[in-house]
Amino acid sequence: MPGKNLSRDEAQQRASILGVDAYRVRLDVTSATDPAAATFRSTTTVAFRCTEPGASTFLDLLAAGVRAVTLNGRALDPATAFDGARVHLDGLAAENVLVVDADCAYSRTGEGLHRFTDPVDGETYLYTHYEPADARRVFATFEQPDLKAPFTFTVTAPAAWNVWSNAPHENVTEDGAARTWEFAPTRPISTYLTAVVAGPYHVARDHYSRTLADGTVLEIPLSAMCRRSLAPSFDADEILGVTKLGLDFFHEQFDYPYPFGKYDQAFVPEYNIGAMENPGCVTFREEFVFRSRVTDAAYEGRANVILHEMAHMWFGDLVTMRWWDDLWLKESFADFMGSYGLVGARTRYSGAWVTFANQRKAWAYRQDQFPTTHPITADIRDLEDAKLNFDGITYAKGASVLKQLVAYAGSEAFFEGARRYFKRHAFGNTELGDLLDILEETSGRDLKSWAAAWLQTAGVNALTPEVTVDAEGRITELAIHQDGEVLRPHRIAVGLYDRDADGALVRTRRIELDVTEARTVVAEATGLARPALVLLNDDDLTYCKIRFDAESLETLRAGLGDIEDDLARALAWSAVWNLTRDALMPARDYIALVLRFAGQEANIGVLQSLHSQAKSAVDLYADPAWRGEGGRLLADGALRELRAAAPGSDHQLAWARFLAQTANGSEHLGLVRGLLAGTARIDGLEVDQELRWALWLALAAAGQASDEELAEELATDNTASGRRQHTQCLAARPTPEAKAAAWSAVIDSDELPNALVEANIAGFALPGHRDLTSLYAAPYFKLLERIWADRTIEIAMRIVGGFFPQAQVSEATLAEADGWLAGHPDAAPALRRLVLERRDDLARALRAQACDRA
């Protein structure tokens, strides 16, 4: 499989004969401040060994051009050695030195070396992002995780800039308008983990010290940085405070000193993902710098990501998967440790497991029910497969299964296994078996059969209670039915709930047991009084969908909001949402639950999830004949709860944002305009800049925001965020011209940066504009293969997923998708997977609408 898409077989063959000793990478980015300059100079020197002298191999490189290639002093002709994606080498010696001098392109897609110019002050910023395989856009590399090596970076940049990389800098020399930064060699790391951040960033510094068990003192310099124009909003003390709590916690749990010297955290613009665990130089999306008021759920989410990336310093950076099949060896662990660490490190986010149960697992349940679902340990044939595998299975399902493993094997056995894993495989690469061998040592359990059921099979089980009672209302049998193609061993708790004297639903009995068969009897429940609610998987120990017996479901309909415990209530909310998605509960019934009980939901993160899910229920799952009424009910409910919420509270802000999403009548839109104009007021609600854009989006989508008004708002907020929001508002207008402009901006040109591609798609694809966007379904299917071939994979994924006619919930649209799939059996597997998943969402929506109609 030649070209950009490196295959697993090629990687295995290359690793079988090569060992890499060192990279020296020299970058000259002094041209970055010139908008007309498209490229930068990249010179790579690689020292590597070959066990088969005389053999041939290749390096990966995506460059605008190659100036020179020299192998062991022998000049190679770039015209024949470089094919646009690879540098081909033959006649290898046992010991080799290769030098590649190239011109690489600055990126606007967030892949490789991304360049951003701040509209506020004109300053230019650079940062790299590589995972899974974009280091080759910056320097010549053996682009696979198991060919680790030390890296030494030298970066020449404008003199006014600072530069960071994975290791500390050792020397800085100035030469007129430029400075050259020489960095120390790193420890052996994978290519995708290397990093460079450069520009006039605002920096906050701190320090972490820890006395280790042997008496030595570990010193870790800390820094956090963002663009200068964001500095007034940068709460670095909070960020660095969470960082120090995390370092304490992970050192206690892992018993392996942080291995990468310093710890920098850069919050960077137009970032494609949440964050990236580059050792010693972590990068985050700058939306985590909150320039307007957000709810506490946003702060919790940021703290979770900080700890997630920190866990990667051990799970992923110190010990790395051999190939992307075992991506879960780092991502599942980091996702688990993010929530585990928030609680264990004694941060103020003690409800992290509630968020995990309600939000992260919703992602996993959705992904695991696609026809494209895969085992946690996946079959990754090539880099395109790898790119798509950063999904809800690898992250959230994997983390859920690790939580089950901790319950199954015991917490101490699990973490002792982690400690041995780090010591045994430090700076190396591993596979599933390496971890299981160690966990079997520490737990004494047969984890290979456990892994076969949990890690090597796909799909989610549903657990359903069956309760029989005698004439006196006592349980004669409580049985648990397990459905699914693969029956798995579940360690679960069963919670029995009744109302207390104050009317709250509280747990009166907890029974923990193993569920291993299709039907398991809960013997301990026999003879107990029938409770009002039987809640399976109480405490959220396992990964499953939970169902209810008829009486428990009626209890929830009458009093879901009365469940006193936050986690139990979140599990109930998650379960009824799954019932709705599975067409077992009418969408209007789910919406009724939200309208009745969301106003008393204490957990702000759960409340915001309910808002998102209720909006989806109306837009996608409700009978189209009832959709209008459902939308009005949501908007009326949002307005009612906004007025009732405590002034200045997070809940008030959440309901204000929900009103902006649902406003559809004159009363709602009149209030929206009044809030923007200052003629209406909700006591305690600050209409700051981000909320203003949300309100403008509501008016734009309703056709009540003029070009002049939107331009005036942009003039007061001519920032990167303001430009994104303005772009989305323009695309959200309900006119054929607005939709055509948004479509053309994305499809007909590749000049837009990633952030504006995303903004145009978001505004174009509003579900309420399905009549306007229906015209684009046929063109969409015709252009798929061209988009996949011509665009970078990141941008292609956004276009394929974002422009899919998801709002056109009809048999005709389903037939169009099926026709494309049937007619393009040889299209790129990753492209087919994206279309197949969107097609499955469409089919699910049709089933849910039929349920709601019935």
Q: Which two tokens stand for residue 849?
A: 């609408």
Backbone angles phi, psi at 517, to 5 degrees: -115, 180
3-class SS at 405? helix
Neighbours of 854 (CB within 10 A): 8
Backbone angles phi, psi at 705, to 5 degrees: -130, 120
**Are 656 and 682 spatial neighbours (Cβ–Cβ below 8 Å)?**
yes
Tell me, what amino acid is at 226? C
Tell me, what amino acid is at 484? G
- Residues 6+ positions from 316 with CB-CB distance below 8 Å: 193, 277, 329, 330, 331, 333, 334
Which sign, positive or negative, has the C-alpha torsion 815, 818, 822, 823? positive
Q: Distance between CA 588 and CA 607 in Å, rounded? A: 18
Residue keyed to tokens 């800098």 = 169
Q: Distance between CA 679 and CA 700 in Å, rounded? A: 19
* Nearest CA-CA partner of 91 in 48, 47, 55: 55
Q: Distance between CA 473 and CA 468 in Å, rounded? A: 9
Q: List strands edge to edge, sheet with 462-469.
A: 519-521, 475-483, 462-469, 545-546
* Nearest CA-CA partner of 465 in 397, 511, 408, 405: 511
CA 357 to chain centre: 16
Residue keyed to tokens 């009326």 = 636
Q: Distance between CA 727 and CA 745 in Å, rounded? A: 11
How are beta strands 86-89 and 57-60 bridged, if at all? Answer: antiparallel
Q: Distance between CA 184 and CA 167 in Å, rounded? A: 6
250 to 243, 258, 306, 641: CA distances (angstroms): 11, 9, 12, 41
Cis ω for the linkage preceding 132 (within 30 of 0)? yes
Number of helices followed by number of strands (H, E) in the chain: 29, 28
∠ at Cα 803 (797, 806), nearest 5°?
115
Backbone conformation region of residue 137, classed left if phi is above 0, alpha if psi is from -120 to 50, else beta? alpha
Q: Which two tokens stand for residue 239?
A: 């960020």
850 to 545, 580, 583, 771, 840: CA distances (angstroms): 22, 11, 8, 21, 15
Choosing from 111, 131, 143, 309, the catalytic residue is 309
**Are 441 and 417 spatial neighbours (Cβ–Cβ below 8 Å)?**
yes
Q: Could you say which DSSP state residue 141 is in?
A: B
**Are 426 and 316 spatial neighbours (Cβ–Cβ below 8 Å)?**
no
- 309 burial (CB, 10 Å; 0-12 / 13-18 / 19+) is buried
∠ at Cα 318 (317, 322), nearest 5°?
70
Q: Distance between CA 651 and CA 641 in Å, rounded? A: 9
Any catalytic annotation for residue 309?
yes
How are beta strands 519-521 and 505-515 bridged, if at all? Answer: unpaired
**Are 617 and 591 spatial neighbours (Cβ–Cβ below 8 Å)?**
yes
- Residues 6+ positions from 587 with CB-CB distance below 8 Å: 580, 617, 618, 621, 622, 623, 630, 848, 849, 851, 852
Q: Distance between CA 45 and CA 716 in Å, rounded? A: 48
Active site residues: 309
